[in-house]
């Protein structure tokens, strides 16, 4: 299927690895030019080379730094001639018990996983509407749908973003001008973060890492972890011309793990 987005420009955050890089690669394969961002400059440059190898006909620009800072957001937006597509992504806050978290911990989580994407959306969606095309995809978490007790900081901040998007996406000034805003909720994907978390859990609980990984996959109906490439492909479709009637939705990619009907 031709997604109809060749020649567009996209900003993809946290694109040096994992799901963000998967999204950037999928968009590159659709002839979309990219501005990619992540905190680590070396890893970001490596990702840019890998993405360029997928498609030599596009332009890939890199802006390293914390997207949570105003200066980096400004640099990212300035590097993009026209933001047609925005993929919001950021590392999640650490797990723990809410009794141990300070006010500063909460503010940091909300700033990174709610306020920062809202600032990028605010800077781009009205221009998208004027241009008659825009796609915003927020990578949140399956925990928005099925909260995980030790991920309270993430549950709270990402659910706040979800509620905000539910109202914003339905504004006629955006939806009637071909601007869609949707949330992608990943379950367990085979990324560096998941592997590190499994390794940490295995060490803390004195379990065999391979056995722990196998038990985890057996708890997923598809009996496997997802891949960053398949996540990226789904993101690319959400950014397509064909997805113009889909907005304000929370789309769960978790191999069937969520047990509910709705």
pLDDT at 111 over 90: yes
Q: What does the pLDDT average to over 162-167?
A: 98
SS3 per-residue string spanning the chain: CCCCCCCCEEEECCCCCHHHHHHHHHHHHCCCEEEEEECCHHHHHHHHHHHHHHCCCCCEEEEECCCCCHHHHHHHHHHCCCCCEEEECCCCCCCCCHHHCCHHHHHHHHHHHHHHHHHHHHHHHHHHHHHCCEEEEEECCHHHCCCCHHHHHHHHHHHHHHHHHHHHCCCHHHHCCCEEEEEEEECCECCHHHHHHHHHHHHHHCCCHHHHHHHHHHCCCCCCCECHHHHHHHHHHHCCHHHCCCCCCEEEECCCCCCCCC
**Whole-number pLDDT of residue 72:** 98
Band of residue 92 on the pLDDT scale cut at 50, 70, 90? confident
Residue 69 has φ and ψ, to the nearest 5°, of: -95, 145
**Segment 66-90 mean pLDDT:** 98
Question: From the CB of residue 94, how many other CB atoms can be counted at a distance below 10 Å?
Answer: 12
pLDDT of residue 168 exceeding 90: yes
Retrieve residue 11's tokens.
């900003």
Mean pLDDT of 63-72: 97
How would residue 197 be classed by pLDDT, with cut points 50, 70 and 90? confident
d(CA 247, CA 256): 22
Q: Say if strands 33-38 and 250-253 run parallel, antiparallel, or are unpaired.
A: unpaired
Rg (CA), the chain: 18
Question: What does the alpha-carbon distance between residue 6 and residue 80 come to, in Å, rounded to a whole number?
Answer: 15
Residues 6 or more apart whose CB falls under 8 angstroms from that of 136 comprise 85, 86, 87, 88, 121, 124, 125, 179, 180, 181, 182
pLDDT, tens digit, 9 for 90 and up, residues 198-223: 998 899 899 999 999 999 999 999 99
- Express each pLDDT in 96-106 by its tens digit: 899 999 999 99
First CA to last CA distance, the chain: 29
Give me the phi and psi of 58, to 5 degrees please: -110, 170
Q: What's this model's pTM, rounded to 2 decimal places?
A: 0.95
Contact 212, 198 (CB under 8 A): yes
Residues 6+ apart with CB under 8 A from 28: 34, 51, 52, 54, 55, 58, 60
| Alpha carbon distance 185, 138 (integer Å) | 8
Q: What is the per-residue pLDDT for 95?
A: 87
* Mean pLDDT taken over the chain: 96
Report pLDDT for 91. Answer: 86
């Amino acid at each position: 299927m031709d997604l109809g987005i060749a020649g567009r420009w996209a900003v993809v955050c946290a694109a040096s690895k994992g799901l963000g890089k998967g999204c950037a690669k999928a968009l590159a394969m659709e002839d979309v030019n990219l501005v990619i961002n992540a905190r680590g400059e070396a890893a970001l440059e490596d990702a840019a080379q890998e993405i360029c190898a997928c498609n030599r006909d596009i332009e890939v620009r890199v802006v390293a730094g914390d997207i949570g800072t105003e200066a980096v957001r400004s640099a990212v937006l300035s590097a993009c001639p026209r933001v047609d597509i925005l993929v919001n992504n950021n590392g999640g806050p650490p797990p723990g018990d809410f009794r141990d978290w300070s006010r500063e911990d909460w503010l940091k989580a909300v700033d990174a996983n709610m306020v920062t994407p809202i600032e990028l959306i605010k800077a781009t969606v009205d221009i998208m509407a004027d241009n008659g095309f825009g796609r915003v995809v927020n990578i949140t978490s399956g925990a928005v749908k099925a909260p995980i007790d030790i991920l309270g900081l993430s549950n709270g901040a990402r659910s706040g973003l979800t509620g905000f998007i539910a109202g914003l996406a339905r504004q006629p000034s955006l939806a009637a001008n071909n601007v869609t805003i949707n949330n992608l909720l990943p379950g367990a994907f085979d990324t560096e973060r998941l592997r590190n978390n499994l390794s940490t859990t295995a060490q803390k609980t004195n379990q065999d890492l391979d056995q722990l990984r196998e038990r985890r996959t057996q708890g997923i109906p598809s009996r496997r972890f997802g891949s960053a490439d398949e996540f990226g492909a789904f993101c690319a479709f959400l950014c397509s011309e064909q997805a113009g009637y889909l907005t304000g939705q929370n789309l769960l990619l978790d191999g069937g793990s969520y047990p509910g009907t709705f």
